Structure 1
Amino acid sequence: MMFNRPRPIDVTSRLWRVNETQSDVAGDGPIALLRALIDLGARHKVPLLACSAAGLLAAALYAHSLPPTYQATATLLLEPRQSAASGGEFGAQQTLDLNRADSELQTIRSERLLSAVFESLNLKDDPELARRQPGLLTRLLSGLPLLAGQRASESAAVGRVEPGAANTAIELADEADRAAFLSFMSRLNARRVGQSFVIEIEYSSSDPKLPARVANATVSGYIYQTVAFKEQIARAGTEALQGRLDSLARQVDAAREAMHAGALPAIATPDADARIIGAALPPLGPSAPRKSLIMALGGVLGLLVGFGVVFVRMALDRRVRSAKELAREMEVRCLGSIPNVPGAQGVPWHITSPQQQKFVAAIRDLRTSVEIACTSLRNEKSIVIAVVGWTPGAGVSTLCASLAQLISRGGRHVTLFKAADGEDARASGDNLAAVSLAGAAFAGLMPEQLSFEDVGGVAVLPIHSRDANANLFTDFRNPRVRRIFEAARSRGDVLLDLPALRHSMDALALASYADVVIVVARAGQTTIEEASESVQLLRRAGANVVGTVINRTRG
């Protein structure tokens, strides 16, 4: 009987085709993406929760570190009045279009008007508008010895009077005033409400009383500037009425006093080209920072960072963790997923816990999958199944022993050729049996001269021997090894618990005798590259790899 005859992969099963692309239409679309994200979040909930909590904490600290900001808004309606002509007669009605409205808005934003408001309220000494204080990083760096020495030298130079120091001080003072005025302009915002003739003047400050004063003073300054211009025109007229001049003068004085006081004019200003429709009131509470929004954004940002960390870890971590991932990356059918059950050494006769029930059910499903994959090979004949892993800790011995026990309890005779797995008690040379496959081949024993150990109804024979020379010099491609496998196959099914591929090439030599080979990957330990290399090595050696098994899965 020929064992080492490689056969096409696509004829090993009438049900599964490992070289055909399986359509997965149901897995497309946003619903599948949402499910994948939920599954990803459930599997990596710890780093996601940690990143979200860190984001919320950072956002909360940042929100509470920001000073409160108050805003006040004054509303102005542009409404041109009739202007007085010479001789006390009234001229034509002034028109107001969109271009004129934009011009008036630019007048309010002009540096001339804002500088008058800035000086009238004496805001140059406001500490809020002074130069910005050094940030946290600057203060931390200032504690370094080098910067501390520079600061000491600067402080020592303050006491020395040099030529031109007075001029420099004046320039610095002017520069400080200019910086304060620029800061004042950046805090004031004048805008039109849509395409209407309504203008809103808004000011922001950490002082709850200052925004209303500045907004009202700006409105009063605009009215003062408009009425003062009309007063100048009226005084220039040769036949201006004294009453008209007195009225304009009173409006000018009221607007000037209101601008200095940060309020609205005390009297009506009918000659202004605008009507005040809303005074700026002191705010009841801060408008910024919006702590709840900052914390929400911090939480979302932390969650996104957490997903980024998870994606980076997944991209760098090539370890297999699920049967779907193994089948997708390997393009080889995953025949089973064995759960991690501590202390499991085989299939017990009596199930005493739910974990044992899951383990036995997984072994049964694996047996069924192997039978389906070997349908075209069995035909009421015994088959040889080889199970191999890349590293000794993949759990191949426990998997083979459990599978052999389950097949044996189904009424078939099973012979198990067992390797010395690192997790097995036979791993040390002193615990190896006196009779082994390597020892029989090395000594030239006939199959009938071998004695198998009965373990739970399974005939077990170790692959390696106590004799180191036998393990070193035995050629597992020897015809004597073939005759031993043929004799075992004549009695029933044969399972080969092969040694790890990483440490021994004996697995490649023995795998060629098997009808089907199964590669075992341990969840969270075996990488995609290791499993792929195992399949490639076995196929190059002529082995018929029909699928993979992921062992010791969690969840």
Structure 2
Amino acid sequence: MNSRMPPVALAYPPSPAALVRERPLDLRQLFGFLLSNSALVAVLTALFVLIALVYVTVTPPTFVSSAQLMLESQKATAADVQRMLAEEALVEGQMEIMKSGDVLQAVVKILDLKSDPEFKSAHLPVADLLRSLFSIGPGTEKAGLQTARSPEEQAENYTIATLRSRLWIRRVGQSTVIEISAASSDPRKTALIANAVAEQYIAQNVRMKSQSALQSSEWLAQRVAELREAVFAADRAVIQFQSSGDSGSQFKLTELKSVSETYRRLYETYLQSWSEAKQRISYPVSDAIFVSRATVPVAKSQPKTILLLAFALVLGLSFGVVVAIVRHFANRLITSADRITAEASVPCIGEVSQANRVKKGAATDLLRFDGPGRKPGTQEWFGRDLRDIKATLGGLRRNQKANLIGLVGAEAKAGATTLAYNLAVLASASGSKTLLIDACATNPTLSRVFGEEKATGLMELLNDPRAYADFIGRIEKRLTILPIGSFRDVTPGERIGSERIAFSFADLKERFDLVLVDLPSMPESADAKSIAPYLDGSIVVARYGKSSFDTLVEAVDALRDVGTEIFGVVLNAVPQRRK
């Protein structure tokens, strides 16, 4: 019996290029970000503080003074809840009276605020303007024509509205104490206004009580006269009944006397109330008394210099950090190794510090690391970073059997040639048999620096098997540099892409421990896409602050489209202070 087993799906581990490792944000990265953007944050903070200083300097100072009045409390005979409600209603009503037009009009006249430039206004305050707009309705236009006011009255209304906007009246806690605060640019004027408002409110309260007492007195006087006539009539009825000699109707006499006594008691009660009302008219007493009068303030209330400067400092720092974050993510130039992994889905396998050239002159374009001790300080970080990348290449050679590696720049002058040369020098110095191939037809720097005239190069090896055999016969023990050779119409990439070549790169893996190929940058030539698929993998080189993430992503995608294994990205020319 034949039984067919279902196929088993094998899961292979992903390549390093497919691994996207998220690095948690730590304090070192945060401080590094703030340090890198310190100039921007400092400029914006200084700008906000300068604006606050200008505002404090230009804005006229505002002084505030307060007076306090205590209202007569409600009698304790009422229930607590009712008494609290009555007190609240009383205080709210008196506060509205303090802001009424009659009180403020009296203040304006007493202090002559109409001639004060601070209170003269050509326009209504916004609140009053909106109130006037929303009050327009059917028939309003006709009524407005009938109640047209003179320019003097309008000016007085503007002054009252301005004064009302500079007053703050509030209840102090749950007590019956009311605080009246006035604001002005003149400290003496604030005390005068606050005290004048309190005094005019008391005067208005006295006038209201006197007017109420006068009305009560007039009504009581009329009522007393009516009751007096009623008492006289009742007394006459009793006297007449007694003089009639009808002593048999005692019940009638008692009734008449009761009516007379009732009218007399009512008359006496109303007479007493009338007397009290006349006293209130002649000597009215206000329901409010001064707790404290307003005094001239010794310091301004607005603008608060220290508070404004502190707020401007915090706002400037916050705005600077926000702008730095926006600029960081909006800036497409590569300034962070961490973003490379997120943007291009390729790990950053190393950073190389910026260093000065050891050799000067037209003989070389390379930054060369010759080992420790040659240039103290200038190349210390440069050499350390190169050794880190060399260690990474060693791991690739052991784990993935990757001995044939290409280096390609994401853009021109990214530094791929310099990196390839220095890695070859370090690898050969450690004992590895290393071959460095110049396949950069657009800018063959290695061939110009190390190639001899009419020397056999890569193009000759690709075209002639005998040239390849001769080259193998004179391989140096440690480092061999193969120049690009002579070419005109056909570049090395086009020649290798034809697959009709005298040797294959696989042959070189058997003769060398490490083969590094300097490929042209992606935007300059298509040779990198033609040569990279024949290698074990490639490393893309980007330049700090010059290469963009868009260019890097395009280069990585283009190499992947032709089946190139990408080991990672190296960020070149990183400032030492950022490392």
Paired position in structure 2 for 1:417: 437
Question: C-alpha distance in 1, partners of 2:504/2:87?
Answer: 106
Structure 1 residue 306, shift from structure 2 partner: 2.0
Is structure 2 residue 544 aligned with structure 1 residue 523?
yes
Question: C-alpha distance in 1, partners of 2:357/2:14?
Answer: 34
Structure 1 residue 479, shift from structure 2 partner: 4.4
- Counterpart contact for 1:482–1:513, Cα < 8 Å: no
Residue number among 361, 369, 376 corresponding to 2:392 in the alignment: 369
Structure 1 residue 230, shift from structure 2 partner: 2.8
- C-alpha change, 1:131 and 1:230, in structure 2 (3 Å) is closer
Partner SS state of residue 348, structure 1: coil
Partner SS state of residue 413, structure 2: helix
| Amino acid corresponding to residue 180 of structure 2 in structure 1 | I
Structure 1 residue 517, shift from structure 2 partner: 1.1
Paired position in structure 1 for 2:532: 511
Report matched runs for 1:295-374 at 5 Å: 295-343=309-357, 345-351=367-373, 352-374=375-397
Residue number among 272, 284, 304 corresponding to 2:298 in the alignment: 284
- Counterpart contact for 1:447–1:484, Cα < 8 Å: no
Is structure 2 residue 139 aligned with structure 1 residue 119?
no
Cα distance per residue 1:243-271 (max 9 Å; x no partner): 9469627xxxxxxxxxxxxxxxxxxxxx2
Question: C-alpha distance in 2, partners of 1:494/1:354?
Answer: 31
Partner SS state of residue 357, structure 2: coil
Report matched runs for 1:142-541 at 5 Å: 171-235=150-214, 237=217, 238=221, 239-240=274-275, 244=279, 248=283, 271-343=285-357, 345-351=367-373, 352-378=375-401, 383-418=403-438, 419=440, 424=445, 434-442=455-463, 446-450=467-471, 458-463=479-484, 465-471=485-491, 475-479=495-499, 481=501, 483=503, 485-492=505-512, 493-541=514-562
- C-alpha change, 1:12 and 1:71, in structure 2 (3 Å) is closer
Paired position in structure 2 for 1:62: 55
The more displaced of 274-283 and 488-497 is: 488-497
Tell me, which stretches of 5 or more residues in structure 2 are unaligned?
1-9, 76-82, 124-147, 222-273, 359-366
The more displaced of 394-403 and 333-342 is: 333-342
- C-alpha change, 1:76 and 1:203, in structure 2 (3 Å) is same
- C-alpha change, 1:235 and 1:170, in structure 2 (3 Å) is closer
- Counterpart contact for 1:59–1:294, Cα < 8 Å: yes
- TM-score of the superposition, structure 2-length normalised? 0.73
Structure 1 residue 55, shift from structure 2 partner: 1.0
Structure 1 residue 211, shift from structure 2 partner: 0.7
Instruction: State the identity as a percent.
Output: 28
Question: C-alpha distance in 1, partners of 2:12/2:471?
Answer: 37
| Amino acid corresponding to residue 182 of structure 2 in structure 1 | Y
Question: C-alpha distance in 1, partners of 2:344/2:409?
Answer: 15
- C-alpha change, 1:61 and 1:448, in structure 2 (3 Å) is same
Structure 1 residue 514, shift from structure 2 partner: 1.4
- Counterpart contact for 1:12–1:546, Cα < 8 Å: no
Partner SS state of residue 476, structure 1: helix
- Counterpart contact for 1:319–1:526, Cα < 8 Å: yes
Partner SS state of residue 198, structure 2: helix
Residue number among 37, 43, 47 corresponding to 1:44 in the alignment: 37
- Counterpart contact for 2:505–2:535, Cα < 8 Å: no
Cα distance per residue 1:295-346 (max 9 Å; x no partner): 2222222223322332332232111112222123222221111111121622
Structure 1 residue 124, shift from structure 2 partner: 0.8
Structure 1 residue 209, shift from structure 2 partner: 0.8
Partner SS state of residue 97, structure 1: helix
| Amino acid corresponding to residue 349 of structure 2 in structure 1 | L
| Amino acid corresponding to residue 19 of structure 1 in structure 2 | A
Structure 1 residue 513, shift from structure 2 partner: 2.1
Structure 1 residue 420, shift from structure 2 partner: 5.8
The more displaced of 535-544 and 172-181 is: 172-181
Partner SS state of residue 387, structure 1: strand
| Amino acid corresponding to residue 47 of structure 1 in structure 2 | L
- Counterpart contact for 1:396–1:520, Cα < 8 Å: yes
Structure 1 residue 283, shift from structure 2 partner: 0.7
| Amino acid corresponding to residue 548 of structure 2 in structure 1 | T
| Amino acid corresponding to residue 291 of structure 1 in structure 2 | T
Question: C-alpha distance in 2, partners of 1:199/1:357?
Answer: 76
| Amino acid corresponding to residue 370 of structure 1 in structure 2 | L
Partner SS state of residue 407, structure 1: helix
- Counterpart contact for 2:442–2:525, Cα < 8 Å: no
The more displaced of 360-369 and 487-496 is: 487-496
Partner SS state of residue 468, structure 1: coil
| Amino acid corresponding to residue 298 of structure 1 in structure 2 | A
| Amino acid corresponding to residue 446 of structure 1 in structure 2 | A
Computed over aligned residues only, the root mean square deviation of the Cα atoms, in angstroms, reads 3.5
Structure 1 residue 410, shift from structure 2 partner: 1.0
Bigger Rg, structure 1 or 2: 2
- C-alpha change, 1:481 and 1:432, in structure 2 (3 Å) is farther
| Amino acid corresponding to residue 414 of structure 2 in structure 1 | A
Cα distance per residue 1:492-513 (max 9 Å; x no partner): 1210011111111111121122
The more displaced of 403-412 and 475-484 is: 475-484
Partner SS state of residue 18, structure 2: coil
Structure 1 residue 524, shift from structure 2 partner: 0.9
Structure 1 residue 276, shift from structure 2 partner: 1.0
| Amino acid corresponding to residue 370 of structure 2 in structure 1 | P
Is structure 2 residue 46 aligned with structure 1 residue 53?
yes
Structure 1 residue 424, shift from structure 2 partner: 3.9
Question: C-alpha distance in 2, partners of 1:433/1:53?
Answer: 64
The more displaced of 271-280 and 233-242 is: 233-242
Question: C-alpha distance in 1, partners of 2:108/2:477?
Answer: 97
- C-alpha change, 1:404 and 1:240, in structure 2 (3 Å) is same
- Counterpart contact for 1:434–1:466, Cα < 8 Å: no
Paired position in structure 1 for 2:243: none
- C-alpha change, 1:298 and 1:421, in structure 2 (3 Å) is farther
